[in-house]
Chains A and B, each alone.
Chain A
Amino acid sequence: AQKVTQAQTEISVVEKEDVTLDCVYETRDTTYYLFWYKQPPSGELVFLIRRNSFDEQNEISGRYSWNFQKSTSSFNFTITASQVVDSAVYFCALSLIQGAQKLVFGQGTRLTINP
């Protein structure tokens, strides 16, 4: 069975600070995808990124960056120079490459960016 753990339930920072959201996963499969989704106060789930287990290269997209480390089974998400609009609940998720793309989600981290 797969499991995703987001140990940080809530994080609160002041605008412009950098913040890292932690994600640790468990799976016996060697091929899988990892995801991050954002859930703003409006409630929808917005896809941010997908990485496959073969690709450990870090990725940067604007102020967002992701650090994938298979050795520690972690897929952490960093927001640089945070903004109030980044306030949301962030979910890390995993799906296996073999079979359907059903997602196993972590419990989410509620991020609050204060002005």
Chain B
Amino acid sequence: DARVTQTPRHKVTEMGQEVTMRCQPILGHNTVFWYRQTMMQGLELLAYFRNRAPLDDSGMPKDRFSAEMPDATLATLKIQPSEPRDSAVYFCASAAGNMNTEAFFGQGTRLTVV
């Protein structure tokens, strides 16, 4: 049963600490997305990659967020330093490269910054 795997599922950290969230896309999927879900903003796209190259990260605060794909099986989203307003659920999703497939979402990482 292919699925997107995100770790950790929950993270509580203190303001100012670095946070790293990880995502393992479905094997063979070459497009990876990072979304953030908050009560106020809903689901918003932070960044996405195709074939490990970043295509769009305009939704991401550049000063503290960074997203990378060290290899085809791992995507990371880092926040440094974290702030309370970063508290949200962060979803990773992956899709095959052609236009005929939908994006499959992981279970999300619930981040709380205190």
Complex Cα distance, B91 from A37, in Å, reads 13
Q: Is B99 an interface residue (CB 8 A)?
A: yes
* List of A residues within 8 angstroms of B31 by Cβ: 100-101
Question: Main SS of chain B's interface residues?
Answer: strand
Q: A100-B31, A100-B55, A101-B103 are in contact. Are A45 and B95 (CB under 8 A)?
A: no
Q: Do residues B99 and A97 form an inter-chain contact, with CB atoms below 8 A?
A: yes
* List of A residues within 8 angstroms of B103 by Cβ: 47, 101, 103
* List of A residues within 8 angstroms of B48 by Cβ: 100, 102
Within 8 A of A (CB), among B61-114: 89, 91, 93, 95, 99, 101-108, 110
Q: Do residues B50 and A100 form an inter-chain contact, with CB atoms below 8 A?
A: yes
Q: Is A75 an interface residue (CB 8 A)?
A: no
Q: A100-B31, A100-B48, A103-B45 are in contact. Are A43 and B95 (CB under 8 A)?
A: no
Type the 1/0 row for A99-111, where 1 means its CB is closer than 8 Å to any CB of B: 0111111111000
Q: Is A68 an interface residue (CB 8 A)?
A: no
Q: Do residues B104 and A47 form an inter-chain contact, with CB atoms below 8 A?
A: yes
Measured CB to CB, the nearest residue on chain B to A99 is B55
- Report A73 CB to chain B, min CB distance, Å: 19
Measured CB to CB, the nearest residue on chain A to B98 is A101
Q: Is B43 an interface residue (CB 8 A)?
A: yes
Within 8 A of B (CB), among A30-81: 35, 37, 42-47, 50
Question: Count of B residues near A, CB < 8 Å?
Answer: 25
* List of B residues within 8 angstroms of A42 by Cβ: 107
Complex Cα distance, B99 from A97, in Å, reads 6
* List of B residues within 8 angstroms of A97 by Cβ: 99
Q: Is A90 an interface residue (CB 8 A)?
A: no
Q: Do residues B56 and A100 form an inter-chain contact, with CB atoms below 8 A?
A: yes
Q: Do residues B55 and A91 form an inter-chain contact, with CB atoms below 8 A?
A: no
Binding site for A on B (CB under 8 A): 31, 33, 35, 42-45, 48, 50, 55-56, 89, 91, 93, 95, 99, 101-108, 110
Q: List 8 A-B contacts (CB under 8 A).
A: A35-B102, A47-B102, A47-B104, A91-B43, A100-B55, A100-B56, A102-B48, A103-B43
